Structure 1
Amino acid sequence: MDIRFSGSRSGTAPLTWGQRAIWDAIQKTAPDDHYFNFGRVLAVPRRARPLTVERAAEALGALVARHESLRTRLGTGQRAGQKPERGSERKTRQKTGPSQVLAASGAIPVTVSDGDPDRLLETLAEKAFAYDGEWPLRVGLVVAAEATGPTVTHIVLVFCHLAADGLGAEVAITDLRLLLLRGAVPGPVPPSPLDLARWQGSEQGLRVARIAAEYWEKEYRRIPPTMFDCPVAAPDSPPVWRARIVSRALDMAVQRIAAVHGVSTSTVLLAASSALVGTATGHDVCAMLPIVGNRFRGDTANAVTTLSQEGLFVLDLRQGGFADLLKAARPAALRAYRSAYHDPDDRDRLTERVGRERGTRIHPYCCFNDMRFVDRVDASHDEQTVRRAMDETTLTWPLSQDQLNCRFCLHVTAEPGGLGVSLTADTRFLPRPAMERYLRDLESLLVEAAFHDVLEPVG
């Protein structure tokens, strides 16, 4: 079956900054670009049951009609792995590079299953999108047999990252729940990628981009050219691996540190992660690229699109101890968040210019992505409980692949068993034993820092 949708307009525009940033990452990761697919599972609310397949398709059609990004495709005929055409000027690039094409109507195919919804999500997400031809949303319905006919129990959505980021996906799920319960979503329709692209090309958008570019250029002149600059081992097969810990002790320790020092838990993790990157690489200044949601404008808070981009977090690790490092990390994090809303073309130009001046390519190849939606702080966790919880920590190796657009990527998630921290790395620069040691050291450092001042410089 298909989900049929009909929106109010169609159109073509340059890619937004967020779309261009993720398209660049997709290009560099192909043919393993399914890495960027992600999804959500919505258990049908009790008050919306029994839900027929037809009624579910109706609600999904309304969702796609409301959020134009879900019916927007790449407009160049390019596939991942092809080099985009580039010119020397902004206008030339916008004409020759990828564009976004919004369709007014169409039909999205649906997979219907009576199996496990999480397994269906994995199946729908395991193949890269055909960006120029396929709709950027895959849909699955899990049904159960009832006396009155098949009833939908779960709706599975898999997003192309060109259409949504994590926060955008949460908006889509919230709106779908409202459509199932009430038949409508209250409030005005948020801006679409088409609207955002036009604003970003305006005088006001160009001013925002210029301020961000000035910060990137200033910092690019003083950071190490690359954090993981020297291969240290032969690559594993495949060369890219992911190690993941789930730690209740780490969760409690980070909450306590954040509460005591008056910072966010994300800042605590950024500071500690940077310190250990310095230990692993020998650099006394760490440049890390945190993924920032960029939903600071009120009208974009409920937009289903990909607004997330990399900011530039720069931290001098030559501090007296972890408390001093945290004090420096707070303003550094704010600067990084402001720098994330930038024009990737500006960044490419200044990267090339500063690289020529310094005689080497400038790119940190070191990323941080806090994917949690809630920040909890709590100073009440006691030392004995936290240290005992370290015995429960688990470590797994959930992913391996050939290509990645980075050398070191740290992802933070909220898990039922505690804080999840995943490290995806190129084993030529950080072998698997060093990856495991990094995650264990991160837990140990923060558990120690939660109850005792770490007096030695942590970098």
Structure 2
Amino acid sequence: MEIVVAFAGDGGGVEELTWGQRDVWDLMRRTGRTMNIGGTVPAAPGETVEHLAALLRFIVSRHQALRTRLVPTGAHTPPRQEVHRSGEIAMELVAAGPDAEVTAEALRVRYQTTHFDPFGEWPVRMGVVVDGERPTHVVLMYYHVLVDGFGIDAIVRDLANLADPSAPVLGVRPLELAARQREPAALRQSEKALRHWERQLDRVPPRPHPEPVDPGLGAPRHWEVVCSSPALALAVRAVAARTGLASGPILLAAYATALARATGIATAAVQIVVSNRFRPGFAEAVTSLRQFGLCVLGTDAPFDEIVARSWAAMLAAFKHGYFDGAAAGRDLEAWSCYLNDRRRGTDDPAGEPPTAEAIRAAQAEGSVRWGVREETYDGTFYLHVEDEPGRIAYTLWGDTHRYAPAVIERCARDLEAVVIEAALTPATVGA
């Protein structure tokens, strides 16, 4: 069953894709992945279907990105975006059945794995699991070309204005941003960023791919290793206390070292996801601003030195992670190891650093298992880091046609082992 929700908002028109939108569009075209983002939340006590319909009307009316459809331009050119001033969107109602949580998860998986029709579908799906007339769960999924994870956070913060729809909408809007990116200042920023990329790529040694590997199982090509480690969280705190640096560069240093061990190449090249939300007017923008920055660092040094190199490389990557990828002189995807740190709060807890005994004891509480396998993914190795209380949770995707499953698993385990070794033995050498 569906409820049709009418919406209307300020602003409309047709523009080119922004740099961030174009990056995600190209990535989805190249890999075939849906890349839909969103999730499930339990319905609040006393929630009603009518209120949820009003909430959907509010967010779509307020935010241009959610009133956008793409406009095809030809087989070999990227589409344009069209923001509509009004329209109608459906909110799906699904009967809870004997287990509302199971029903909600099935709905989330369906929304997650079903490609959006960007030319005929609005870029948000909202489904409500109902027990009779009582909502039990709400599932929301967004089309990633038009909204990124930080854009979803901005939507959630804007719900504070639900009682006052006339409140100003904060942050740059997609049509404005697309026009701004053709201005001289933005083009100079892009050119400067691309020159930085060129300099970094020149530092990368030749990276011949190993002979293709056949796992012999007839399985999809890309395999996921799922890890959860309280010991890693404690070890990161210990290294952070010693180096004075945050967990982000420590994890990048560990990942680079693990990659060097897996590939046999001491200089690691890692593309990191850059939110770009630190730029003026971008923090509250509901759009897709994420792009990649490139970190190139040697791992033939004590771990603390690798961490310092990672910090410097990350700062440069953030600075130069806003650019027109279509203007790149080289194929930036050729350097295909990635890191996406999805955590929102990455500051290490205050207080005394953990003891060696606590770190060793926590090692027994971690877990490593094989997860999902997919035929297409992005890159040779792709590390995602997630929020998890008291632990660092991470997944590592590996291409089994380039590295054997045992090498991929070893790389995932090495990420934890490198930091624990560094916490317990400060003079640890990287690769």
Give the alignment's TM-score, normalised by structure 2: 0.91
CA contact (8 A) 2:22 2:78 kept: no
Partner residue, 1:71? 67
Partner residue, 2:343? 372
Partner residue, 1:357? none
Partner residue, 2:150? 167
- TM-superposed CA distance for 1:179, in Å, is 5.1
Partner residue, 1:449? 422
Partner residue, 2:121? 134
CA contact (8 A) 1:59 1:179 kept: no
Moved over 4 A (4+): 183-187
Distance 1:132 1:151 in 2: 33
- TM-superposed CA distance for 1:275, in Å, is 1.2
Selected match of 1:217 from 183, 188, 198: 198
Partner residue, 1:99? 80
Distance 1:204 1:118 in 2: 46
Partner residue, 1:55? 51
- TM-superposed CA distance for 1:232, in Å, is 4.8
Pairing of 1:290-329 with structure 2 (within 5 A): 290-319=272-301, 321-329=302-310
CA contact (8 A) 1:224 1:286 kept: no
Q: Which amino acid aligns with 1:2?
A: V
The 3 A distance-change label for structure 1 pair 253 and 26 is: same
Report SS of the residue matched to 2:87.
strand
Distance 2:379 2:425 in 1: 34
Selected match of 1:255 from 233, 237, 257: 237
Count of residue pairs the alignment pairs up: 419
Partner residue, 2:330? 351
After superposition, the C-alpha distances for 1:17-49 in whole angstroms (9 at most, x for unaligned) are: 10111111101111xx12x1121334445xxx5
After superposition, the C-alpha distances for 1:197-252 in whole angstroms (9 at most, x for unaligned) are: 111111111111111011011112221354x7223521552111111101111112
Q: Which amino acid aligns with 1:158?
A: M
The 3 A distance-change label for structure 1 pair 416 and 143 is: farther
CA contact (8 A) 1:256 1:377 kept: no
- TM-superposed CA distance for 1:77, in Å, is 6.5
Report SS of the residue matched to 2:281.
helix
Partner residue, 1:88? none
Q: Which amino acid aligns with 1:10?
A: G
Give the alignment's TM-score, normalised by structure 1: 0.86
Pairing of 1:271-286 with structure 2 (within 5 A): 271-286=253-268
CA contact (8 A) 2:8 2:87 kept: yes
CA contact (8 A) 1:220 1:362 kept: no
Partner residue, 2:30? 28
Partner residue, 2:210? 230
Distance 2:274 2:281 in 1: 17
Distance 1:214 1:23 in 2: 23
Partner residue, 1:39? 38
Distance 2:143 2:393 in 1: 23
Distance 1:362 1:299 in 2: 29
Q: Which amino acid aligns with 1:98?
A: P
Q: Which amino acid aligns with 1:326?
A: V
After superposition, the C-alpha distances for 1:54-113 in whole angstroms (9 at most, x for unaligned) are: 2211121111111111121221167xxxxx52xxxxxxxxxx432111111122222212
CA contact (8 A) 2:257 2:418 kept: no
Distance 1:276 1:414 in 2: 21
CA contact (8 A) 2:92 2:126 kept: yes
CA contact (8 A) 2:246 2:346 kept: yes
Distance 1:371 1:262 in 2: 22
Distance 1:63 1:230 in 2: 48
Distance 1:374 1:74 in 2: 34
Distance 2:17 2:193 in 1: 18
Q: Which amino acid aligns with 1:335?
A: A
Distance 1:244 1:104 in 2: 43
Q: Which amino acid aligns with 2:138?
A: I
Distance 1:323 1:422 in 2: 24
Report SS of the residue matched to 1:64.
helix
After superposition, the C-alpha distances for 1:294-346 in whole angstroms (9 at most, x for unaligned) are: 11123110111111111011102232x10111122211110111121111112
Report SS of the residue matched to 1:128.
coil
Partner residue, 1:400? 373
Partner residue, 1:143? 130
CA contact (8 A) 1:448 1:454 kept: no
- TM-superposed CA distance for 1:155, in Å, is 2.4
